[in-house]
Amino acid sequence: MKRNLMIKALGLTRHFGAIAALFFLITPVATPAESVEYTYDSMNRVTKAAYSSGESISYTYDAMGNRLTMSLAGAAGTAVPGDLNGDCRVTLADAALALQTAAGMKPSVFRADYTSSGADPDGTPPMSLADIVWILQAVAEE
């Protein structure tokens, strides 16, 4: 039993090692710069962060200064390719969702309009290794 678990663990490590090697091969050496413009309220709290890519994050606060809401908007209100969880950013969380979906799992935070919104990197379901690599490359470029 213990030996079988070790063999399975080594096989899993080999697969993740191959994905990591592929990730580092496609990672660009130089990444483009992105600028952020911050807007503050009268209490010097960030109320908006506007990115040069057109994406923005807005915040609201209660009277005690606790953050109430955080709303995200993509460039011109469109979906961000590779954004699987609908937060208008392509992050490692999206890569994890892609891996779960490709493995046949059904994550609960997966956006319902993934394919129709334009968030699917290649526009063809189901999730593929190419989509996962695309998302990982997009994360590396940030």
Q: What is the pLDDT of residue 30?
A: 45
Q: What is the pLDDT of residues 83-96, one digit of tens each?
A: 777 777 778 888 88
Residue 110 has pLDDT above 70, yes or no: no
Q: What is the pLDDT of residue 31?
A: 47
- Answer whether 0.85 is exceeded by the pTM: no
Band of pLDDT at residue 45, cut at 50, 70 and 90: very high
State the Cα–Cα distance between residues 110 and 117, nearest whole angstrom: 13
Supply the CATH classification number for the domain 79-142. 1.10.1330
Residue 137 has pLDDT above 60, yes or no: yes
Q: What is the pLDDT of residue 97?
A: 80
Share of the chain above pLDDT 90, in %: 8
Residue 53 has pLDDT above 60, yes or no: yes
* Section 44-49 average pLDDT: 91
Q: What is the pLDDT of residue 46?
A: 92
Name the average pLDDT for the chain: 70
Q: Would you say 59 and 44 are in contact if contact means Cβ atoms under 8 Å apart?
A: no
